[in-house]
Amino acid sequence: MSEPFYIPYERISVGDKAELSVTLSEAQVDEFSALIGDTDSFHVTDAAAEQTVFGKRICHGVHLLAYVSVLVGQKLPGFGTIYCDHTFAFHNPVYLGQGIRVTVTVLEKLPHRRLRMDTTITREDGAPVLTGQTVVKTYR
């Protein structure tokens, strides 16, 4: 078996960037709700969603964050990355079936193979969804 993809710490530079695009279906949002035990919220039922400012069901914020984790674990730095912390703010909702683009950019190389990275999620119509920073530890 070939070694999985990762970029070693010494080959990573400030400014390095990676991105991925994903669209969350209704089925994924329903499955995620069941998984975390969210049985009664505006993510799950149309009736509850209609009473919110959003008007329609939206994806869980924490579900969107999962794709930041996917991106750092698969592309930059890649395999074996350990997620240490993440500070973030949400700006706009993501409706079911709406595409998002997730971007991470290396801001700073820290001691002990750690990296501080900028994290953004943008909706396909250009609206900002999430801004934040994460610290991850690279595999090698």
48/127 with CB nearer another protein = 48
Among 11, 17, 21, 41, binds another protein (CB under 8 A): 41
Is residue 3 near another protein by the rule CB under 8 A?
no
Among 9, 19, 90, 95, binds another protein (CB under 8 A): 90
Count of residues that bind another protein according to CB under 8 A: 41
15/45 with CB nearer another protein = 45
Alpha-carbon gap, residue 72 to 49, rounded angstroms: 32
Q: Are strands 99-110 and 82-90 parallel, antiparallel or unpaired?
A: unpaired
Is residue 80 near another protein by the rule CB under 8 A?
yes
Specify whether the CB–CB gap between 23 and 97 falls below 8 A. Answer: yes
Specify whether the CB–CB gap between 113 and 137 falls below 8 A. Answer: yes
Provide the token pair at 121. Answer: 């999620």
Alpha-carbon gap, residue 105 to 99, rounded angstroms: 20
Question: Per-residue contact track with another protein, 111 to 130, x per CB under 8 A?
Answer: --------------------
* E strands, 24-98, in order: 82-90
Q: What is the CA radius of gyration of the chain?
A: 16
Among 84, 124, 127, 140, binds another protein (CB under 8 A): 84
Q: Which residues bind another protein (CB under 8 A)?
A: 4, 22, 28, 31-32, 35-43, 48, 51-53, 60-63, 65-67, 69-70, 73-74, 79-81, 83-90, 132
